[in-house]
Amino acid sequence: MNELIAQLVSQLGVQEGQAKGGAGLLLKMAQSKLGGDFSKVSAAVPGLQDLIKSAPEAGGAGKLLGGLVGALGGGKAGGLADLASLAGGFSQLKLDPQMISKFVPVILSFVQSKGGQDVVKLLAGVLKK
């Protein structure tokens, strides 16, 4: 996992703790969306669970907004709830929520290099919404 963190730090200019937390937040969301299929991703890329554990707990306005948006219904509202929750987590890491879209391609590229096309397609399906 150190390789992914190093890539995030060098490509995005974030600190190591921010890289771990941001990647952890995105992977935590992917895990909740993929359910059992996430095991295919974690089997291909060992160490993902450690990153997920380093994600800050969603709290404050991000969690509240995510809960409110999620309560409005599934579909696009569910995606908005996830985005609101991620934005809250990124804010806790002192990262602009716009950084979410910059983390995704770095993570996907790393996962593809380790797990191949099938695994990255699975992950991209939930991270690119």
DSSP secondary structure letter of residue 74: S
Measured distance CA(46)–CA(72) in Å, rounded: 36
CB 19, CB 8: distance < 8 Å: yes
Q: Where are the domains of the chain?
A: 1-56+100-129, 58-92
DSSP secondary structure letter of residue 55: S
pLDDT in tens, the chain (129 residues): 799 999 999 999 999 999 999 999 999 999 999 999 999 999 998 899 999 998 987 554 444 444 444 444 444 445 666 777 888 899 999 999 999 999 999 999 999 999 999 999 999 999 886
Measured distance CA(51)–CA(59) in Å, rounded: 18
Global pTM exceeds 0.85: no
Report residue 91 as tokens.
């804010």
